[in-house]
Structure 1
């Protein structure tokens, strides 16, 4: 009994923080029930080691077939940490909200404080291309609009940045190593983010979204989350899983759904309808897709 009371008090404190973070001040009153009770249908397989194996399909839904080497397949089969793993900040401390997630992705968090929300997703995309031997496709635009590719960085070109002016100069020896690749990503984390991804990438209508598409609110910092799996029913209705990095730089986690706990962690999206996730309120949802 005492334990339950403490859990309710902790839940109320978390909801208070959520309300303060929410730009519209939405009342997350249904989160208390979501935090102290389980979904009607148990959709978590604690023994599963990948997204596909850990998260079950809700009744009436199933996963569609996707190509083995596709980005969609890569995300659906992404490795997870042991069930019950916590969200850990880059400095080794625990994040204050440990009830937001149902799984932690196996994405290392650098101790330099970089790799925040957009950065974590750019890393996942870049590592996919690296593993597929499509290294020449790795590249992102800075917030200034200047394109910075891994190919040029590996050749030794480095940016000279003065205000909004960027020029590239060959100042280093060619280095195609994995260590240099992560140095490149640190550069990208510094000069790219939600705003640059929003401006650079193709916008996708909600009816056309798929695994790998990202829900973005551009800004400084803004926020971004990525679809890591989907299921559909006989009517063609779809549900999606969302994952995010965050600020401060921390573990990449698969998000719970407080708005519809019966299907959590799955989400359903509708055109022109706000999307509420544990850490962010997307008043006018915009989805973008990597090239």
Structure 2
């Protein structure tokens, strides 16, 4: 009897943690919404973020220049509709009802590319592809800055507790394969906590744009990126969101399970409670890559 009771309590705790301490009735509602929700704004045959999702009535997309980070994200390639979220070990993620698209980005088998790491990679690949490689660099959680330029020149971190120094211990290597080795290093020593400390904070909804991030810095923390943006005649904005996750898994464009009438668009607010798929941001904060 005691063994059965212990098992029951264990399962309840696991469910609570998976849904970030949502009340049980809300967890059931989320599962139900994910099952029955059939977003009317979806183009199942389309293979980019922009073309996959139609606009709600009265809204138009905000224009961004060709070559901008915003335009890059909006036109990011998606895998065919219905593609499942896959973990780094090639297993299927347990929650398949909260997304409407998978971004065409590989999931390394080492398990390092988690939520913040996936967005770091997308930002870094944009800078790489647009000949802005010297701008690629991120802080470790310790606060020490690690740039792709110095890594390519052969400098490696020597880490002793919270003390980090850099020493030239490798040959010069500017290749793409070495670039991904650099990203693996960043994945190991950076995350939502370091990003929350180094990124530019956005304090008003009207200033939000594609590429900005909704962030909770910590261990654990979470982060999602704004993948598209629309506006109406009143100046009201809607956004699409995508995320990586823990464990490392497919980067995916999420549904809005709170408002299925505009899903997958989100009406974001400052300092609000914002549920995103199976995670809830409390007292929401937004940030931007510099």
- Using structure 2 for the length normalisation, give the TM-score: 0.91
Supply the distance in 1 between the matched residues of 2:32 and 2:260 (Cα, whole angstroms): 9
Cα offsets for 1:213-239 (capped at 9, x unmatched):
011111112110000101111111011
Q: Does 1:264 align with 2:272?
A: no
Cα offsets for 1:186-236 (capped at 9, x unmatched):
000000000000000111024211100011111112110000101111111
Q: Does 1:290 align with 2:266?
A: no
Cα offsets for 1:228-282 (capped at 9, x unmatched):
1011111110110110000110000001111111111110012332111112111
Q: Give the structure 1 partner of residue 278 of structure 2.
A: 279
Q: Give the structure 1 partner of residue 141 of structure 2.
A: 143
Q: 1:18 to 1:45 in 2, by over 3 A?
A: farther
Q: Give the structure 1 partner of residue 226 of structure 2.
A: 227
Q: Give the structure 1 partner of residue 160 of structure 2.
A: 162
Q: Does 1:128 align with 2:131?
A: no
8 Å Cα contact 1:126/1:138 also seen in 2: yes
Q: Per-residue deviation at 1:35?
A: 2.7
8 Å Cα contact 1:19/1:25 also seen in 2: no
Supply the distance in 1 between the matched residues of 2:129 and 2:137 (Cα, whole angstroms): 15
Supply the distance in 2 between the matched residues of 1:29 and 1:179 (Cα, whole angstroms): 44
Q: 1:235 to 1:199 in 2, by over 3 A?
A: same
8 Å Cα contact 2:213/2:225 also seen in 1: yes
Q: Give the structure 2 partner of residue 251 of structure 1.
A: 250
Supply the distance in 2 between the matched residues of 1:222 and 1:32 (Cα, whole angstroms): 22
Q: Which runs of 5+ in 1 are unaligned?
A: 1-12
Supply the distance in 2 between the matched residues of 1:20 and 1:161 (Cα, whole angstroms): 33
Q: Per-residue deviation at 1:110?
A: 0.4
Q: Which moved more, 1:203-212 or 1:163-172?
A: 203-212
Q: Which residue of the other structure, out of 84, 88, 91, is the alignment partner of 1:90?
A: 88
8 Å Cα contact 2:271/2:285 also seen in 1: no
Give the root-mean-square deviation of aligned CA atoms: 1.7
Supply the distance in 2 between the matched residues of 1:186 and 1:153 (Cα, whole angstroms): 12
Cα offsets for 1:8-49 (capped at 9, x unmatched):
xxxxx9xx946752235372454355234345x611101111
Aligned residues between the structures: 276
Q: Does 1:44 align with 2:42?
A: yes
8 Å Cα contact 2:273/2:280 also seen in 1: yes
Q: Which runs of 5+ in 2 are unaligned?
A: 1-10
SS of match in other structure, 1:240: strand
Q: Does 1:56 align with 2:54?
A: yes
Supply the distance in 2 between the matched residues of 1:109 and 1:36 (Cα, whole angstroms): 26
Q: 1:166 to 1:256 in 2, by over 3 A?
A: same
Q: Per-residue deviation at 1:180?
A: 0.1
Q: 1:140 to 1:83 in 2, by over 3 A?
A: same
